[in-house]
Amino acid sequence: MGRHHFHKLITLNAALDILNKEFEKRCKFPLEGEFISVKDSVGRITAEPVFARLSSPYFHSAAMDGYAVRSKDTFSATEKDPVRLKIGEEAIWIETGDPLPENFDAVIPVEEVNIKNGYIEIYKSYPPYHDVRPIGEDIVATEMIIPENYFIKPVEIGAILASGITEIKVRKKPLIGIIPTGSELIEPEKLKKFTLKPPYLIEYNSAVLSNLIREDGGEPKVYSISKDEENDIKNNLLKALEECDMVLLNAGSGYGKEDFTYYIINQLGEVIINGVAIKPGKPFIAGFINNKPVLGIPGYPVSAIFCYYLFVRPLLELFLGTKLPKEERIQAILSRQISSAIGVDEFIRVKVGKVGNKYIVSPMGRGAGLLMSVVRADGYIVIPAGSEGYSPGQNVEVYLWRTKEEIDNTIVCIGSHDNTLDILYNFLRKKYPHVSLSSAHVGSMGGLIAIKKREAHIAGTHLLDEITGEYNIPFIKKLLPEKKVVLINLVYRTQGFIIKKGNPKNIKSFEDLIRKDVIFINRQSGSGTRLLLDKHLRELGIDPIKIKGYENEEYTHMGVAQAVLSGRADVGLGIYAAAKALGLDFIPLTEERYDILIPKEFLDLEIIKAFLDIIRNDNDFRNMVIKLGGYDIRDMGKVVYEN
């Protein structure tokens, strides 16, 4: 089999148009119905309208506790000349919900009568059906309760049962087959008896896709992992096609020597889409075999998720005969520049928070394999194919994965990264479940600029002024001279060299960084750690250009530690907690002060009060920080400067 190549990539709109037209031409939809118990129908979609069999209530009933009477017997009653009705004959005790006695047509609440010698006295007239629930007050027999193609909610189950219906016809759930492919994949359950080592990878895309399908009203069926062998994939696919309404082949949609999706679909049926101009998700493939859709979903997790939303979900809607809920959209201000290649629709995961009266959006990692960028994202923005990107401060449309209420209760933290922020976020959620923390790691200087531009509630910073030897305050005075702010200490932390276990290259000092056998991993420009590094290099007269890897940047201390652990670098400058977390060695160099900068205008916000409560009063949080290693909390929560 020769390797195939992508055809000329088609646009997203063209791909959706082709897929939709071919589906409508080849497939029967919506799916036929099936009868199920009304009690089990929540979340299902009606396959026909539901009409009431009985009225509700189906008899005249009392709406209050009191006495059932004949309304005509009350017409002459006045305050001066009350009417007396004999209890048990002309006035019969009745309780809420009880049926009215025959020939009685009104109820007088007990608090409106005076009981005397076996009679009730009433002081005004009562019209027919006073405080009576007449037949059909709620539901009239034969009226429509809900229409066809309607999502059934819990309250509607009550109405349907009240109308005398116990079974309901709903759309069959489309059965979607999922076939993971890849000889290197293992099921998560096998980890108990299997030592994970290269090139093996945990297969989890099928679980993600399954639950997305289930959430949208479909029924997933995951088949065994197919090896990167044509016959194995083909046999699994043929079996799935016999049983399912649609099949997703996960991974193998590229054009490497072990990517068989295109070839197999074309051999058994017809490929209609082979590559789409989107990022992530470019290798998407679509075809039909025996008039059933077969979609080649890329193996990278973020690509798989976006391909699900873009291509699988619309077909599910057709099978179900309804429209699924769409993401809420808001307008937001972009916190920093983001570039994109022309000719490709790019989907950028973002964090969002409300600062003042405007929403601020910060881009996250863009790699197709960065699953955590989806876990931590609040939504996404789209950079259209005709654009090279967006500028800072530009207004963009955000598609939300979280509710607007969650966004409104999010603390926007932009600035330097520290591991304690992750711990703090957990304690926030534990004590204040409605509060979230959105942390964008752009470096200390970027944090101060975000505060200046009113694009963040708080900023983490550890900028050392070389002249005064003071942390943060000189920079605040210079960059934010008019801004009313408060600077609160979070921790003192130990910075140093993060190195491999056992220090195999015997790295001891900054001078070792220019050795030819040493590869360095740096922090991004504008970060406090980068400024600290450059300060030492200047003092020692070391030219950064001589450091192999100086231009390679990470945005977090954990990113630096991971680069060393993976062998991508021999050494990086970072905090002890990051080295300890990954079992690496550490050479301490200095203690630095890590502070949180907060504009005074935000101190009265409930979310900021919650934040300060944790760092000032939560001993469990403080103990957890100490356990991380390399931290001193002697001034945690203390105001070290205000303007």
Is it the case that residue 6 has pLDDT exceeding 70?
no
| Section 32-54 average pLDDT | 97
| Section 144-149 average pLDDT | 96
Location of each CATH 3.90.105.10 domain in the chain: 33-56+138-171
pLDDT of residue 302: 95
pLDDT of residue 256: 64
Buried b (16+ CB within 10 A) or exposed e, 428-463: beeebeebbbbbbbbbbbbbbbbbbebbbbbbbbbb
pLDDT of residue 362: 86
**Average pLDDT score, the chain:** 94
CATH, domain range 61-133: 2.170.190.11
* Interval 278-299: pLDDT, tens: 999 999 999 999 999 999 999 9
Rounded Cα distance, 301 and 101, in Å: 67
| Section 61-78 average pLDDT | 97
pLDDT of residue 3: 46
Is it the case that residue 168 has pLDDT exceeding 70?
yes
Location of each CATH 2.40.340.10 domain in the chain: 329-408
| Section 569-596 average pLDDT | 96
pLDDT of residue 26: 96
**What are the phi and psi torsion angles at 309 (to 5°)?**
-65, -40
* Interval 426-441: pLDDT, tens: 999 999 999 999 888 8
Domain 12-29+174-320 belongs to what topology? Molybdenum Cofactor Biosythetic Enzyme; Chain A (3.40.980)
Q: Is pLDDT larger for residue 336 or for residue 579?
A: 579
pLDDT of residue 2: 42
Is it the case that residue 263 has pLDDT exceeding 80?
yes
pLDDT of residue 367: 82
H or E segment to which residue 318 belongs: helix 313-320
* CATH architecture of the domain covering 329-408: Beta Barrel (2.40)
* Interval 390-410: pLDDT, tens: 998 899 999 999 999 999 999
Q: Which of 288, 285, 263 is nearest to 276 (CA)?
A: 285
Q: Which residues contact 91 (CB under 8 A, 6 or more apart)?
A: 67, 68, 69, 85, 108, 113, 119, 120
- What CATH class is the domain 483-642? alpha beta
Q: Is pLDDT larger for residue 177 or for residue 8?
A: 177
Q: Is pLDDT larger for residue 314 or for residue 556?
A: 314
* CATH architecture of the domain covering 33-56+138-171: Alpha-Beta Complex (3.90)
The alpha carbon of residue 157 and the mean position of all alpha carbons in its chain are separated, in whole angstroms, by 29
* Interval 518-534: pLDDT, tens: 999 999 988 889 999 99
Q: 3-state DSSP: the chain helix, strand, coil percent, rounded to 5? A: 30, 30, 40
pLDDT of residue 152: 96
pLDDT of residue 1: 43
| Section 585-610 average pLDDT | 97
Q: What is the largest CA-CA distance in the chain?
A: 113
| Section 560-569 average pLDDT | 96
Rounded Cα distance, 51 and 67, in Å: 35
Location of each CATH 3.40.190.10 domain in the chain: 483-642
pLDDT of residue 7: 58
Question: With contact defined as beta carbons under 8 Å apart, do 579 and 498 qualify?
Answer: yes
Rounded Cα distance, 156 and 31, in Å: 22
**What are the phi and psi torsion angles at 626 (to 5°)?**
-60, -40
